Amino acid sequence: MTSRAALPVALAGLALVHAGPAATWLPVVRRGLPGLAGAGHADHVALTFDDGPDPRSTPRFLDELGRLGCRATFFVLGEMLERHPELGRRIVAEGHEVGVHGWRHVNALITRPGGVASEMGRAADLVQAVTGVRPAWYRPPYGVLSAEALAAARLRGLRPVLWTVWGRDWTASASPASVLVTLLPGLRGGATVLLHDSDHTSAPGAWRSALGALPGVVARCRRMGLRVGPLRDHGVAGAGARAGTRAGGAPGRRLRSGTT
């Protein structure tokens, strides 16, 4: 094969290496990678929220979680946290966990080379500066990973994690009832639940469907004898013990998740 003929093959190979991790977006692939999907302890359900913090909606979620006696993991966007740092501080002050969702909600496969790593690092640094806690988790926008994203997360000490079940709460037609019905088949011990505390990248007002479903989700878990809480208490396979540590290395504020 001539060098000219080999070039398309080489480029195709590089593209496959870059985009290959994105296959984890598919449920059938995630089932084969339980650690990446967020599968955890058989008596625990991890509750996670994406796309905030948003002053129109995140405080309502925090109020409801407080009423329910639950803690959760909030995957924040850097651009949102930069605008509303007081909400980031409130999330941590109330015993919740903050993870990194990138700076902007952009698909890793269409981002310029180096862009994912740069924005991930920028967002992680902001989380630490605002909250005083080093983030432990990274969830890519749209759940789409790339080779660059995986390498950058490893360099930053961030654990990539997706979800085992979602509520499809981002659409204009979503309702509390539809979110709960969508979640129920996968709402079991070890599950990581994906919901959204903001409509920043969703249909306007879609967050109301997740908020309205939240009491039913927690009640259902508790009826099954399951604890509900953040990823740091979920026992995700292969996860390190650094979740929730202060910038100086000392343990951050830790509350028992799913207090019932």
Active-site residue, 105 included: no
Percent of the chain with pLDDT over 90: 68
What is the pLDDT at residue 111? 64
Domains and CATH numbers, the chain: 29-238 (3.20.20.370)
pLDDT tens, 82-91? 999 999 999 9
What 8-state DSSP symbol labels residue 257? T
Active-site residue, 41 included: no
Q: Which of 50, 197, 199, 233 is catalytic?
A: 50
What is the pLDDT at residue 44? 98
pTM of this prediction exceeds 0.95: no
pLDDT tens, 184-201? 999 999 999 999 999 999
Per-residue pLDDT band for 35 (boundaries 50, 70, 90) equals confident
Q: Which of 196, 197, 233, 234 is catalytic?
A: 196
Helix 115-131 with 147-156: angle, nearest 10 deg = 30
Phi, psi dihedral angles at 134 (to 5 degrees): -75, 125
Whether pLDDT at 255 is above 60: no
pLDDT tens, 219-246? 999 999 999 999 999 999 765 444 444 4
Q: Is 68 left (phi over 0), alpha (psi -120 to 50) or beta?
A: alpha
pLDDT tens, 156-172? 999 999 999 999 999 99
Contact 183, 169 (CB under 8 A): no
Annotate 92-110 with DSSP letters as a single string. Answer: HHTT-EEEE--SS---GGG
What 8-state DSSP symbol labels residue 112? P
Per-residue pLDDT band for 103 (boundaries 50, 70, 90) equals very high
